[in-house]
Amino acid sequence: MGRSILTGVVLLFLMGSCNLIKKTSGDAEKYDSYSEDLALIRITFPDLSEQAVTEEPSKESTGALAVDNDLSFAMESFISNNKTERYYSGFTVLVYSGVDRDAAFKTRNDLYTSFPDIKADMQYQQPRYLVKVGKFINRIEAQAHYHMLKETFPMARIIQDRFQREGFVNPDEFNNNDQGQN
């Protein structure tokens, strides 16, 4: 009994408090006469039918595709930009890495005897010797040599490396030689 009275009082209180919130209408009526002209700042686009009539086909597009000239120009600029870079990033197969000089030479000689068509490159980066095979642009190209070498050299792995570009001409050295300096 006491609970039902308490529930009734709470229910009356909640219904009475909802009545306190009054909605105000009539404020929207003062904005009925509002207008704004955005034509000055709105972007306008020309009609496509007018643009199609005014443009005539270019005379360069006859014969070969019009893109060919642009593509060849882009490729030439890409090649010339690459020639100015001294190094390029790529991948190589690392056959041996260790501090034992004799083991490095033995690995290199084993490579020459087992795979005479593959050129092995031996480097010394203090304090270790590295025997590397190949200079590849991406990892997929290195996979063929890796799988071939993996049978004979189980410790072989593909690593990232930086290679000096063949035929690189340092522009600073070229300019200094023009001035008679070494």
What is the C-alpha to C-alpha distance for residues 110 and 152, in angstroms, rounded to an integer? Answer: 9
How many domains does the chain contain in total? 1
In the three-class reduction of DSSP (H, G, I as helix; E, B as strand; rest coil), residue 78 is classed as helix
Domain that holds residue 116: 87-163
pLDDT tens figures, 20-74 = 666 666 677 778 888 888 888 888 887 777 766 665 555 555 556 668 888 888 9
CB burial of 10-40 (b: ≥16 within 10 Å; e: otherwise) equals eeeeeeeeeeeeeeeeeeeeeeeeeeeeeee
Asked if residue 148 has pLDDT above 60, the reply is yes
In a domain, 142, yes or no: yes
Q: Of the given ranges (10-19, 102-111, 140-149, 165-174), which has the lowest mean pLDDT?
A: 165-174
User: Is 182 a domain residue?
Assistant: no
Beta strands in the chain (DSSP E): 87-98, 120-125, 128-136, 157-164
Token pair 């890409």 in the structure block, residue? 78
- Domain with 111 in it: what CATH number? 3.30.70.1070
At residue 182, does pLDDT exceed 70?
A: no
pLDDT digits (tens, 9 = 90+) for 91-134: 999 999 999 999 999 999 999 999 999 999 999 998 999 999 99
* In-domain check, residue 143: yes
Judge whether 5 lies within some domain: no
CB burial class (10 A; 0-12, 13-18, 19+) of residue 142? buried
Assess if residue 21 is contained within a domain: no
